[in-house]
Structure 1
Amino acid sequence: MENQQLKPLGAKAGRNGGTFVCKEMVYDYAMGLAQSPWFCLLRLAIRQDAEGRYCLNDLYKASGGAEKDKPYRWLRNYKTKELIDRLEDQKRSTKNLEDQNRCNKPLVTLRGRGITGTYVCEELVYDYAMWISPEFKLKVIRAFDTLQTQGRC
């Protein structure tokens, strides 16, 4: 895979319809030139919206795209709904301005050119990943850790 030319963000690639990124895109993002933020998971770009939420549809593709792991199935789960309610309650009750500005809503569905999808906050990313499998959750945790400690994918 090392010698393989990666396709730019927005191009369909791979068996799961995921998107690969190249070094130039990492540079553009680091320099603030990229059009939309993202991070890498299993060499797939995971898009973010303007509020920093992560695209659940991209995470689904990175997980392997099994029918049983579709985001709508996770969103119908009682425990998922309960967690979303708790996150919304905390948002309303927090007095910490930094926490209030973190994400207005833990989950939104956007429709439009280049941004279509369901976007969730970091806590819901972890919950979705754990719902899929412990192995996938470890991959998500490690990707976030690399992003936080090294500032790159």
Structure 2
Amino acid sequence: MTLSPNSAFALDQVTIHEIDGLYSLNDLHQASGGKSNHKPAFFLRNKQTTALIAEIQVTNSQLALKVTHGGECRGTFACRELVIAYAAWISPAFHLKVIRVFLDASAAATAPDTTASPEPTASIDVRGQLLTGQIAPTVPCPTDLKNAIDKRAWILAGEAFELIRAHLFRRAAYSGECGTPRTLDVEKAMSAIMRGDLGDALALEFEEKLANMRHALTFYLHLGNELLKEMDRVRAS
């Protein structure tokens, strides 16, 4: 079967082709300026390069290098670690360019998808929270107890009203206020206060904290990937 190379990225207007996760050293040589003393063959004869290839294949159990003859795939294709080492062998400036290309690709892969539709906010089942663990009355309620319950319910309802009212004012401000100086978009504010139910209101703070945690996790995952790459680069140099 004849393989066709994919266009992985462009470097100084030169397309770097890729096959099965391996990148064309011939394309990289061209992107670096094409000097004869920078040909991939010279780099691959280097003892340090030979040791690096062996280490990559032992630690990662992956194909570090592939040489193909004929067809569209003609040339030498290398794994990412070997590509970075090749760039460092050519020059510090070219090394930096290649590192930045891979860092940008990693950042794009780990960045959150802002185009996806947001997941619906989890709602709290207020009725379930209030009634779970209680038992339904099986004995007639005396009049004085019923009156006391009604009175207490009105007091609690008043407290709930004030809290819900304050929440709706805050929701309207959060969704509708914008600009400098601050102005209120009444249409957005009206839309915000009409959405959801009491359970949504109670879950709002929890959902915001969860979203902040997701963003932080994405950031630290990206940072960890960059640190691992830097460790690989130092080990290869």
User: After TM superposition, what 4+ stretches of structure 1 lie above 4 angstroms from structure 2?
Assistant: none
1:46 aligns with one of 5, 12, 16: 16
Q: Which residue of 2 aligns with 1:143?
A: 101
Alignment RMSD: 1.8
The corresponding residue for 1:106 is 64
Structure-1 separation of matches of 2:16 and 2:99: 14
Aligned to 2:54: 85
Matched, 1:118 2:98: no
Q: Measure, in 2, the Cα distance between the counterparts of 1:88 and 1:144.
A: 20
Structure number with larger C-alpha Rg: 2
- 1:76 shift after superposition: 0.5
Summarize the alignment of residues 55-66 of structure 1 with structure 2, pairs less than 5 Å apart: 55-66=24-35
Q: TM-score, normalised by structure 1?
A: 0.64
Aligned partner of residue 80 in structure 1, secondary structure: helix
Which residue is equivalent to 2:92?
A: 134
Checking the alignment, whether the CA contact within 8 Å between 1:39 and 1:147 is kept in structure 2 is no
Deviations 1:81-114 (A, max 9, x none): 000011111134xxxxxxxxxxx41001012321
* Aligned partner of residue 86 in structure 2, secondary structure: helix
Alignment size in residue pairs? 106
Compute the TM-score of the two structures, normalised by the length of structure 2: 0.42
Higher relative contact order (CA 8 A, sep 6+): 1
1:35 Cα deviation from its structure 2 partner: 6.8
Say whether residues 1:69 and 2:27 are aligned partners: no
Tell me, yes or no, if the aligned pair for 2:9 and 2:16 is still in contact at 8 Å.
yes
Judge conservation of contact 1:106–1:120 (CA < 8 Å) in 2: yes
Counterparts of 1:42 and 1:147, CA distance in 2: 16
Tell me the distance in 1 between the aligned counterparts of 2:5 and 2:13.
19
CA separation of 1:150 and 1:75: change in aligned 2, threshold 3 A: same
Structure 2 gaps of 5+ residues are 110-237
Query: SS at the partner of 1:109?
Result: strand
Q: Which has the higher helix share?
A: 2
Secondary structure at 2:6 match in 1:
coil
Match of 1:64, SS state, is: coil
Q: Which residue of 2 aligns with 1:24?
A: none
Q: After superposition, what is the alpha-carbon deviation per residue over 1:114-147, rounded to whole angstroms, capped at 9, x for unaligned?
A: 1111000000001000000110000111122222
**SS at structure 1 position matched to 2:66:** strand
Higher mean displacement: 82-91 or 57-66: 82-91
Identity across the alignment (%): 40
Correspondence for 1:4:
none
